[in-house]
């Protein structure tokens, strides 16, 4: 099948904007189905970063000379753009970090140590990425707090039958908007309302939601939302968090040094204002510029068009896999495309996920075979690993067809 132009998203044109997609691997067209791990970058992002390095690169917030001021302006402009993209009320509600892992660690370290005590409870779900588990484990070990888990049901969605009991007395509810393994989309507003009714603060991991522009921190009524630039067409090395201003004001700094101060004396220091008090040391400067260009690109495509494209492609993939492999394939994720993102994880009996990925690589099909940094979830699924194909704006039905054909080859190769 040829690339299809979906309503509102001209995939063939989008593909031409991504230089890497014109290369071949093993003499075959590159089929990139690992965007949930990290997305590819359009020419406009590469150009924006290149232009900064060539014409106005300098450290930020430090120099009074022209290019330093231009560099600082670009960085702060990127912050304002991210804030608008996330539906935030003001730019200084966004703190840049190197990725969402650092953003969640920042919040756990700074807010968690200030607000939690022994016996307090933190609630997470079984579908969290390690980035939204391990910081809480570390806090629990240090403070003696309790970690409670919301289970998943047989349809790979959150089992909310015990939600009120699990939230009872909890201080924090930290959950993902979209599962990076199952593709399940959670009803963030519903969960946030339930948490607030129980008196808990709400942290949303939006690593897999932000790439489609479907984050609205105000409509979600969240308290803290993390994102990571490299999954949303931006460069690696930049991500961050949005948080309610009153939380950010009350939180102590995370890392010390560099520009996060107003003053330093022999007997102490005075931290800078929000958000800079959380941005210690030289920040990812050109990366912020690249992230701003990525958001420009996403906004041109439009959230609705991206989500619709993803739904159609996911439906096509689920149907194709089912038609070709029937009961021999196990898809770990909701069956339909309602409240489901473009992530399709699967396994075959008797074939290891890594073996599948290796055969697929011979066909230039890039998928992820792993526990996807969600080991508690993999234990619930009863598998050590699975194979994940994830779709983004540059993928089309031809990519799905290539995936299915390559899987057929892998199945034959490993036939028992």
Ligand X SMILES: Cc1ncc(COP(=O)(O)O)c(C=O)c1O
Residues annotated as catalytic (active site), given as ranges: 373
SS3 259: coil
Of residues 130, 123, 132, the one with CA closest to residue 158: 123
> Which is nearer to ligand X, 216 or 363 (by Cβ)?
216
Closest CA relative to residue 179, chosen from 149, 140, 206: 206
**CB contact at 8 A, 124 and 163:** no
Closer residue to ligand X in complex, CB, 201/208: 208
Chain centroid to Cα 239, Å, comes to: 9
Phi then psi for residue 158, to 5 deg, are -65, 135
Nearer to ligand X by C-beta: 6 or 231? Answer: 231
Chain residues that interact with ligand X, rule: CB under 6 A: 37, 99-101, 129, 131-132, 176, 180, 205, 207-208, 228, 239, 373
Q: How far is the CB of 185 from ligand X (least distance, A)?
A: 12
Locus of tokens 């003053």: 263
Q: Residue 92 is encoded by which pair of tokens?
A: 């200084």
Rounded to whole angstroms, the Cα distance separating 96 from 39 reads: 19
Structure tokens that stand for 36 in this block: 């949930």
Cα 174 versus chain centre, distance: 14
* Cβ atoms of residues 407 and 356 within 8 Å: yes
Q: 18, 42 in Cβ contact below 8 A? A: yes
SS3 call for 282: coil
Residue 117: CB minimum distance to ligand X, A: 27
Dihedral sign for Cα atoms in the order 329, 335, 341, 342 = positive
Is 309 or 372 the residue whose CB approaches ligand X more closely? 372
CB of 392 to ligand X, least distance (A): 13
Give me the least distance between CB of 129 and ligand X, in Å please: 4
Shortest distance, position 373 Cβ to ligand X, whole Å: 6
Nearer residue to ligand X within complex by CB, 132 or 272:
132
Please report how close the Cβ of residue 130 comes to ligand X at its closest, in angstroms: 8
Report the DSSP pairing between strands 343-348 and 386-390.
antiparallel
Cβ closest to ligand X, residue 78 vs residue 404: 78
Q: Name the residue with tokens 């460069």.
A: 235
């Amino acid at each position: 099948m040829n690339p299809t132009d979906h309503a509102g998203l001209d995939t063939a044109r989008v593909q031409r904007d991504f230089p890497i997609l014109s290369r071949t691997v093993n003499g075959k067209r590159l089929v990139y189905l690992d965007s949930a791990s990290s997305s590819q970058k359009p020419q406009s992002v590469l150009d924006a970063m290149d232009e900064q390095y060539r014409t106005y690169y300098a450290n930020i917030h430090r120099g009074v000379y022209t290019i330093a001021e231009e560099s600082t302006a670009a960085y702060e402009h990127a912050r304002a753009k991210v804030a608008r993209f996330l539906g935030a009320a003001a730019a200084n509600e966004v703190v840049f970090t190197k990725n969402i892992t650092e953003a969640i660690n920042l919040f756990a370290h700074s807010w968690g140590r200030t607000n939690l005590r022994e016996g307090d409870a933190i609630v997470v779900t079984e579908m969290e990425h390690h980035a939204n588990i391990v910081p809480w484990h570390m806090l629990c070990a240090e403070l003696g707090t309790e970690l409670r888990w919301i289970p998943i049901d047989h349809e790979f969605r959150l089992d909310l039958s015990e939600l009120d009991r699990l939230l009872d007395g909890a201080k924090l509810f930290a959950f993902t908007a979209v599962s990076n393994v199952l593709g399940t989309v959670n009803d963030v507003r519903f969960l946030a309302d339930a948490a607030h009714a129980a008196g808990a603060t709400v942290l949303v991991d939006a690593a897999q939601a932000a790439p489609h522009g479907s984050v609205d921190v105000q409509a979600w009524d969240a308290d803290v939302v993390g994102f990571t630039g490299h999954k949303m067409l931006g460069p690696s090395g930049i991500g961050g968090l949005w948080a309610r201003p009153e939380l950010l004001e009350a939180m102590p700094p995370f890392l010390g040094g560099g520009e996060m101060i107003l003053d330093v004396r022999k007997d102490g220091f005075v931290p800078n204002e929000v958000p800079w008090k959380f941005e210690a040391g030289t920040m990812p400067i050109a990366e912020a510029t690249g992230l701003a260009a990525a958001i420009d690109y996403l906004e041109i495509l439009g959230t609705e068009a991206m989500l619709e494209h993803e739904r159609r492609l996911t439906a096509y993939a689920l149907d194709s896999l089912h038609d070709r492999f029937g009961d021999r394939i196990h898809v770990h994720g909701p069956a339909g495309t309602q409240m489901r993102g473009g992530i399709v994880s699967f396994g075959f009996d008797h074939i290891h996920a890594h073996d599948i990925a290796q055969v697929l690589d011979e066909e230039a099909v890039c998928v992820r075979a792993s526990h996807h940094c969600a080991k508690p979830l993999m234990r619930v699924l009863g598998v050590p690993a699975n194979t994940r194909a994830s779709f983004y704006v540059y993928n089309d039905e031809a990519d799905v067809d290539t995936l299915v054909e390559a899987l057929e080859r892998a199945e034959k190769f490993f036939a028992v």
